[in-house]
């Protein structure tokens, strides 16, 4: 991390876990732990928890995010949520392009771009996820895949709008598997993403953009990962569901 150039951000992706009661309890456990956090802290909760999370985090330094949004402002899209609805509710962040959305729900690089555009138009701050599957890693095309995903997702995004975007590198083979990219692998790919941003925009934009690592980050490996130059935080899955574990990663961001 280089906090002089960009914000360090630890975001929890709760996925499909915790109903409203459990969400409130977890946030109440987190609040006193995060009072002196030296990084930005975000909890990205299921849609049904958003109202409870927004109420529970009032007056704290914990921000609230959603886990997806649709590209349309409104319409016949049963079970979907628009970016404008999230903004009206008070949500600040939204995860877009997560590998589980790509794998199970047909997300493509193009639809991720459409959702990103909608989120920015509504005034939300996207956490854009990119990353390769195991086969692509073994084929040696990680850089090509990540470059492509990043470039397509950011089509039509201005240099000014990049100030509101966080990018999360999540090697798909390390999500929920217990496997973790080495600190060197994580730093290398985050650095490649930063290089793409410099090509698309400028070196200043590249250096100012927060790039997280997501993929089985936990208290035991967070310090090593966060100690790398290009790793500016984490998008945390399983470890975000236990206050002590999530705080252990936040504390490592010192």
pLDDT digits (tens, 9 = 90+) for 61-109: 999 999 999 999 999 999 999 999 999 999 999 999 999 999 999 999 9
How far, in Å, CA of 193 to CA of 196, rounded? 5
Q: Where does the pLDDT of residue 181 fall: very low under 50, low under 70, confident under 90, or very high at 90 and above? A: confident
pLDDT given for residue 215 in this prediction: 85
Q: Residue 114 pLDDT more than 90?
A: yes
**202-226: pLDDT as tens digits:** 999 999 999 999 988 999 999 999 9
The pLDDT of residue 116 is 98
pLDDT at 179 over 80: no
Of 203, 98, 183, 196, the C-alpha closest to 148 is 196
Report pLDDT for 175.
76
CB 101 within 8 A of CB 114: no
Q: How far apart are CA 197 and CA 99, in angstroms?
A: 21
DSSP 163: G
Catalytic positions, written as ranges: 98, 170
The overall pTM is greater than 0.75:
yes
């Amino acid at each position: 991390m280089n906090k002089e150039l960009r914000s360090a951000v630890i975001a929890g992706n709760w996925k499909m876990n915790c109903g409203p009661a459990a969400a409130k309890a977890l946030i109440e456990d987190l609040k006193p732990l995060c009072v002196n956090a030296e990084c930005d802290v975000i909890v990205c909760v299921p849609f049904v928890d958003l109202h409870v999370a927004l109420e529970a985090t009032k007056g704290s330094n914990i921000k609230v995010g959603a886990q997806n949004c649709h590209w349309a402002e409104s319409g016949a899209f049963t079970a979907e949520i628009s970016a404008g609805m999230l903004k009206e509710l008070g949500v600040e962040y939204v995860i877009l392009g997560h590998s589980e959305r790509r794998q199970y729900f047909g997300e493509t690089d193009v639809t991720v771009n459409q959702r990103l555009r909608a989120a920015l138009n509504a005034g939300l701050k996207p956490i854009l996820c990119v990353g390769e599957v195991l086969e692509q890693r073994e084929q040696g095309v990680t850089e090509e895949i990540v470059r492509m995903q990043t470039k397509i997702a950011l089509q039509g995004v201005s240099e000014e709008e990049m100030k509101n975007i966080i990018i999360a590198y999540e090697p798909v083979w390390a999500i929920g598997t217990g496997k973790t990219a080495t600190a060197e692998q994580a730093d290398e790919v985050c650095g490649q993403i930063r290089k793409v941003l410099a090509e698309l925009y400028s070196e200043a934009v590249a250096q100012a953009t927060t790039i997280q690592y997501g993929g089985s980050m936990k208290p035991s490996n967070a310090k090593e990962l966060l100690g790398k130059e290009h790793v500016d935080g984490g998008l945390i899955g399983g470890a975000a569901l236990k206050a002590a574990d999530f705080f252990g990663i936040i504390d490592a961001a010192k």
